Structure 1
Amino acid sequence: MNVTINWKKQKQNYLIEKNNKENLDHTADIQLHSWGDTLLEAFEQVCIAMFGYMYELEDVQLLKHHTVEVSGHDMSSLLFNFLNEFLGLHFEEDYFIFKDVEIILFDPKGFSLKAIGYGEKFDRDKHGTGTEVKAITYSAMQIKEEKTKCEVWVVVDI
C-alpha cells in the first residue's frame, strides 16, 4: 500500500490547530549593587551580596576562612578578578559559602588586593539556596568613587 502525505499541508494544519507554545521573558543576569564609605567596603559588600543572592547567609557560620590575592590592569579588572576568585573557591571547595569578606591589603595604584573570606561549606539540611551565580561579567560594571561614598555595580550570569 502506497500512501502519499502532503507534509506541507499537514505541517500547516498542525501549526494552525496546535498553539501549545509561548514566548517567555528570561533573564540570565542579575545586577549587584553595593556601597560603602570606602572602595574597599564597597568591594567587600558586593562579594557578600553575590553569596547572599545564592544562599540565606543568616544560617552560615564563620567556621573557616580562605585567603585570596588578586590583581588587575585597572580597577574594573581588579573587581572582576576579586569576585571571580571567590566564586571559583566556592565551587572548588565543596560549595564553600562566604558570609563575610575582609580586604586586608590594597594597592590602588598597582591594582592588587589580598582578602580573607569567612564562612562554611554548604550543608543541604542547614542552608537555604537561591539562584546559582555562574559567572562574573564586565557588562554594565561601574565603580563610582566619591569622597564620602563609593559604589559598585556588577552584573553576574545566573
Structure 2
Amino acid sequence: MFEVLEHTADIGLRAWGETKEALFENAAIGMVSLAVDIADVEPRIAYPIAASGTDLDSLLVNWLSEVLYYLDAQHVVLRKFHVEQITAQNIVGQAWGEPRDPARHRPKLIIKGVTYHQLRIAEQPESWCAEVFLDI
C-alpha cells in the first residue's frame, strides 16, 4: 500500500508494509506507479534486484535507485516485487515485468532520482512506514 505526497519541486510517496520486506516491495510499486501505469505491465520476466547500504535509510534509497535503473537505463517496466532478504547492510530480491513498449507503457512522470530529503522509515506497532521523495 502507498500514497502520493505533494511537494513543490519533487514528489513523494508514503508506503506501508506489515514487514520490512513488504515495506520495500510497496515502496517500489509506488515509485513505478508514479512513472507508468503498472496495470498495463505484464509480470512475465524476472529481474534480480540487490542493493547495499550502511543503514535502513540508505538501503531504501539504493533499492529504489536500482528499480529506477531498470526503468531508465534498461527500459524495463516492473510491476511485482519480492524481497528475499534484508540484512543490516544488504537487500536482495526479484522483480517481474517486461521490456518497455512505448505503445502500451506511456510515461506519467519522469523520475530523475531518489533523494534523502525528508526520508523517514519507522516501525509501528503492527507495520512499517516510510516516506521518500523523488526528484522529478
TM-score relative to the length of structure 1: 0.78
**CA displacement at 1:105 relative to structure 2:** 1.5
Match of 2:80 in 1: 100
* Larger CA Rg, structure 1 vs 2: 1
CA contact (8 A) 2:21 2:85 kept: no
Distance, in Å, in 2 between the alignment partners of 1:90 and 1:56 is 13
State the superposition RMSD in angstroms.
Answer: 1.4
SS at the partner of 1:143?
A: strand
Distance, in Å, in 1 between the alignment partners of 2:35 and 2:61 is 18
**CA displacement at 1:153 relative to structure 2:** 0.6
Structure with the largest fraction of strand: 2
CA contact (8 A) 2:16 2:26 kept: yes
Any idea what the Cα deviations from partners look like across 1:9-41, whole Å, max 9, x if unmatched? xxxxxxxxxxxxxxxxx9330011110111211
- The one-letter code matched in structure 2 to 1:101 is F
Match of 1:128 in 2: 106
Distance, in Å, in 1 between the alignment partners of 2:110 and 2:44 is 22
Match of 2:94 in 1: 116
Match of 1:143 in 2: 121
- The one-letter code matched in structure 2 to 1:92 is A
**CA displacement at 1:147 relative to structure 2:** 3.3
SS at the partner of 2:130?
A: strand
Distance, in Å, in 2 between the alignment partners of 1:153 and 1:113 is 18
1:15-34 aligned within 5 A: 27-34=8-15
TM-score relative to the length of structure 2: 0.90
Query: Does residue 78 of structure 1 match 2:56?
Result: no
SS at the partner of 2:64?
A: helix
Paired-residue identity, %? 28
Gapped runs of 5+ residues in structure 1? Answer: 1-25
- The one-letter code matched in structure 1 to 2:106 is G
**CA displacement at 1:128 relative to structure 2:** 2.9
**CA displacement at 1:150 relative to structure 2:** 0.7
Find the partner of 1:56 among 25, 37, 49.
37
- The one-letter code matched in structure 2 to 1:128 is R
**CA displacement at 1:76 relative to structure 2:** 0.4
**CA displacement at 1:89 relative to structure 2:** 2.1
Moved more, 132-141 or 84-93: 84-93
Distance, in Å, in 2 between the alignment partners of 1:129 and 1:92 is 15
**CA displacement at 1:59 relative to structure 2:** 0.7
